[in-house]
Every structure is written in structure tokens, then in C-alpha cells.
Amino acid sequence: MALYDDTLALLRELIRNACVNDMTPASGQEVRNADSLERFFDGVPGICIDRYESAPGRVSIVVTVAGTDPEAEPLTLLGHTDVVPVDHSRWETDPFGAEIIDGRLYGRGSMDMLFITASMAAVARDVALAGPPTGTLYFVGVADEEARGGLGAKWLSEQHPDAFSWRNCLSETGGSHLPVADGSDALVVVVGEKGSAQRRLTVTGDAGHASNPYGRVSAVATIAEVVRRISLIDLPVSQDPLWRGFVRAFHFSPAIEHALLNGSDNSAFEHFGELSRYAHALSRLTISQTILNSGSAINVLPSSATLDLDIRPLPGTTQEEVDEILIDALGDLADLVQIERLISEPASVSPTDGPLYRAMVDTFDEFFPGVPVIPTVAAGGSDLRFARRLDGVGYGFALHARERTMGDVFALLHSHDEYIELEDLDLTLNAYRSLARRFLGV
């Protein structure tokens, strides 16, 4: 009980520190959470604590619990300490008050991902207090995850790649349940994430006074046609085993399963219920038109217009293939459109085998005996992609009560009145404790 109480107290402190990352270099100020974490380990024997500051106040902390066997597999618990901004007017609770109401802890970052970060820290301290493990354990409280890690995990992987081991990493999130059609259970483990292929499409037109449009090429009209053609892109369903395994885990009827696996009827995605949007994103490359921009004065014909696209490719899709899809959709307009690559990162995925994956599956079975574990890919990003780039493996790991579906967890990410069920904090803490002991030989 003391371990849980200490974890809860730490979690509430991390929330109250309000390390809000608005994607500007001066925000975040994760130094506050780094200080809290360092105090949490104060007086613990057999550990080493290092701090890394990528910019003023943007501090990541690395706690090392050295193992007795340098040849044994290491384990890295990779938790981030920043949170996204809040709209105070939409919250019914204090977003940084860390209030406990009816078995729930409310606060920004409670679900994403401070409850996991606090559990990781508590388990690392517990392992250190129990005596040296066989394999080395690292706990990392990393800055700037919410802004894609430029001042956090990405910076560490490039500037200090040896600060900790990237070989076996755990981070957010997993361990929620699928609403299987026949009422049975299935647990989710995140083994990868889609990539990024952001694009800016630019067209030009004839500038001039808006009172004399005759004979002039309209950049606005051209970009409108670009928007229309992009919206008509019909992408095929993936044949990746992860997608096919995800569909089959739901035990749909043969007709529904066939429609989903072959892409013959898009309305079949409605059978996923609250997970329909996620399932659709998992099934294919997605293209979202997000920013349209042209002109600055109502009486001036603009000389250019731009359309920004948030494109998320699946593992195996190249940036060149993304450009080819766009060019094909543009047809005879392709020569009039400049395609600029913005953030472009490949998708990444870790194997559904190996020592760490098996340890996760065995841990899930300890808490939910006989329940199948379904590997899947996150539609968004996480710091785990940097581990995979450095030839390590990375998995999203946590644990939720039976009634908490994957959709329930998704709904709370970056939401108003974000909260974590205290029952799930306890489950995640004990799952990490069990997995660490199983994997490290504690």
C-alpha cells in the first residue's frame, strides 16, 4: 500500500507542476517535474541520476539502477513529463488541482501520460530498494514529447544517445480492452505508430485589384479544385497482418469481417462503434486537409494559395509513394501545384516477439488469465519511434480494468476534465512492477 500511496502522491505533484507545452521553446518548463522526480529518489541507494537540459528549463532526467550482469537485457521506462494546454473555461475541475472525486484523479496529464510516468518512477525506486537487478533498469522522465520531442527524446537520441539504453523501451500506452462483438475480452498492446508525411500544396494566380477580375487566373479557384480532388482520393485497405489481426480480434460475422479486410464496404467501420475512426486510420494511409490559406485583404486578388495536409502513412509506405498518390489525384493540375514536404518521418513498428514482448504478454496473462493480446499501431506519435530508429524495440504498456475500452482511453487524451481511474493507476503500477521483476531478474 505504501508504494501505491507514494505513487499517487507523486502523480498529484506532477500534475500540479503544470508543465504545459504549447510547442514553443520556452514553454513546458519540465524542470519542475524533473525536480519533483529527483526528490522522489532522494536517499535511494544504488542509483545514478543525470539531468539533461536542451533549452532553459527543458530538463529531462535519467535514473539508472545498475544491474549485476552487463550482458543481461536492459529495460528503459520512458515517461514524458510535459502536458498539453487547457481551455480553462471548458473544465469543471481545476486542471492542475489534482482533485480526487469518486475514485478518479482529475488533472491535465493524468491520462497522458503522467499516471504511467509516476508508476514507472515508483517501480524504478522499488527495484533499487530491493537490491540490484540482474539487468540494468533506466527510468527516464523526458521533456517535450507533446511537441514531437525536438527538445526531449529526439534531442537526447541525437545529442546524448548513450545517456540510457534504447534497446528495450516501454512508454505510452496500452493495456485497454477491445469491445469484442461476442462479449469476450481482448487486451491491446501498442507495437508501433504511423509515420508523418505533412505536405504543403501551393498554387499561384494573377494578383491585382479585386474590382477587375476578368481574364485573371484565380489562385483561390485553383486551390478549391485542388481541395476537391484531394478529397476524392480513395485509398486501399492495408494488407498488413496487424490490421488483419485487429479486425479478427473483434469476432465480427464473416460478412462484416470480409468487408473490412477487403475494403468492399466502408460503412462496415461503423461496427467498431467508438473505435470506428481509429480503425479506419489503422486500415490505411490517411490524408487530412487541415489549413487553407490565401490572401490578406478583401480587395486584393491573391497571387498564391496554400493547402496543408496532415498525412499519416502506415509502416512500409515511403515518402515518394505519398507524393505519387497526390500527383495522381491532382491529374492535369499536377504541373500547377508545388508540393512541399514539411514534417516527414517514417512509420515504425517493433516485432511481436522477443524477450520484452513475451514479458508483456506474460504480465497481461498474470492479471487477465487467458485473455488474448492484440498488437496494434498508434495513429499518432510517441517517443518510442526514436528507440526504433536506434535499433531498439519500443512498446506502449499500461493496464486498465476490464470495463475500460480502448475507446474510453482515447476519449480522455487531451480532453477537458481529463482523469485517470485510481483503479487503473493501481493496476498499471502493479503491472509495471511485475514486468520489471520478470524481465530484469529482480
Give 217-267 pLDDT, tens digit per residue: 999 999 999 999 999 999 999 999 999 999 999 999 999 999 999 988 889
pLDDT over 90 (residue 278): yes
Domains defined along the chain, listed by start: 2-180+348-440 (3.40.630.10), 195-345 (3.30.70.360)
What is the mean pLDDT of the segment spanning 114-125? 98
Strand pairing report for 286-294 and 208-209 = unpaired
Model pLDDT, residue 164? 98
DSSP state of 304: E
Model pLDDT, residue 379? 84
DSSP state of 303: S
Model pLDDT, residue 396? 97
How many whole angstroms separate alpha carbon 89 and alpha carbon 291?
A: 25
Model pLDDT, residue 213? 94
What is the mean pLDDT of the segment spanning 385-410? 96
Alpha helices in 250-318 (DSSP H): 254-262, 276-282
pLDDT digits (tens, 9 = 90+) for 346-370: 999 999 999 999 999 999 999 999 9
Sheet arrangement for strand 338-345: 286-294, 304-312, 196-204, 338-345
Percent of the chain with pLDDT over 70: 100
- State the DSSP H helix or E strand holding residue 141, giving kind and residue range, or none if neither: strand 137-142
pTM: 0.93
Cα angle, residue 252 at apex, residues 247 and 253 outer, rounded to 5°: 130
pLDDT digits (tens, 9 = 90+) for 65-93: 999 999 999 999 999 999 999 999 999 99
Number of helices followed by number of strands (H, E) in the chain = 13, 18
CA atoms within 13 A on the CB side of 312: 18
pLDDT digits (tens, 9 = 90+) for 92-108: 999 999 999 999 999 99
Q: What is the mean pLDDT of the chain?
A: 96
Cβ of 413: how many Cβ atoms within 10 Å? 14
pLDDT over 80 (residue 128): yes
As beta bridge partners, residue 396 has 171, 190
What is the mean pLDDT of the segment spanning 315-335? 97
Model pLDDT, residue 441? 86
How many whole angstroms separate alpha carbon 352 and alpha carbon 348?
A: 13
